[in-house]
Amino acid sequence: MTAPMLHIVIAAGVGALLLLVYAFLIEPRIVRLEQLEVPVRRLPAALDGLRIAHLTDLHVSANRLQHGVVRRALELANGSHPDMIVLTGDLVHRDPHARRAVELLRGLQAPLGVWAVMGNHDYNWTWRHRVPDRIEHVYSDEEWASLLREAGITMLANESVAVERDGARLWLAGCGDPYCGRDDLPRTLGGVPDTEPCVLLCHSPDIVDDPLAPRADLILCGHTHGGQVRIPLIGPIYAPCRRARERCRGLTRVAGTLMYANRGVGASNMLRFHCPPEVALITLRCPENFVTSVL
């Protein structure tokens, strides 16, 4: 091997090593606060400007370094002074870490409440086989709801609630995760009046393909981690959802409904590139007060 060629090989090796160090040790710890305004079709004037902090995919585990990332995300959520905080699943990496997650989440607070739906990892459904891992115990919805109440969080399992401010109502609907077959959108949206605004929480963005999804004015979801590894000009190498390049992160419009796919906070592994963790702060706007085009 000639000297110039050797220099090229060494430089390439050093570059690859630095890239791996960045992707495994640096970017996964850079939690960003993403702020956006979204027009909501039926939003009453009294709710114009309502702010929702959206967290997802914390993947709390025994990894203490990862706990620091989660704490930073929770600080960003609280520090953004939202009217409401929502979590869209995969609070833990496996059920045995549930109580550890509850301890971390205990400090979340917002005037209109903290709300959550569950994801596939909360039920020990792996991405490899899409069946529950064989462990001693899998938390039921009732057990999760009881645990989350300890942290001041209300769990929604295929149900909806009306949240009121200044005499106006916003419906918050929480659907079970379609990735592991727990979704029941007819039940979730059954009590929501057609004339009132609705924000739908669901773990997987694939819920947007349900025929009833257009009833929601805005869908907030996670599950994909934004793809975790995104190649510039190409997009994600892989993301666990249909039409991954279009739907695995950010704001999209599908069949007239806006959906925001959050990149999440944690992951089953800490690898991230061009896709840092995020907390989303979403401001709801009446269409007549919204001046920037969306999609």
Closest residue by Cα to residue 117 from 162, 190, 191, 173: 173
- Domains in the chain, CATH or no CATH each: 31-289 (3.60.21.10)
* pLDDT reported for residue 21: 80
Q: What are the tens digits of pLDDT across the range 79-107?
A: 999 999 999 999 998 878 899 999 999 99
Between strands 114-117 and 84-88, the pairing is: parallel
* pLDDT reported for residue 177: 95
Which residues fall within 8 angstroms of residue 264, CB to CB, at 6 or more apart? 56, 57, 58, 59, 90, 222, 223, 224, 225, 226, 277, 278
Whole-prediction pTM = 0.93
Compute the distance between CA of residue 185 and CA of residue 178 in angstroms, rounded to an integer.
Answer: 10
Q: Which residues of the chain have pLDDT under 50?
A: 129
**What six digits make up the tokens of 27?**
């970017």
* pLDDT reported for residue 132: 52
Q: What is the mean pLDDT of the chain?
A: 90
Between strands 114-117 and 153-155, the pairing is: parallel
* pLDDT reported for residue 83: 98
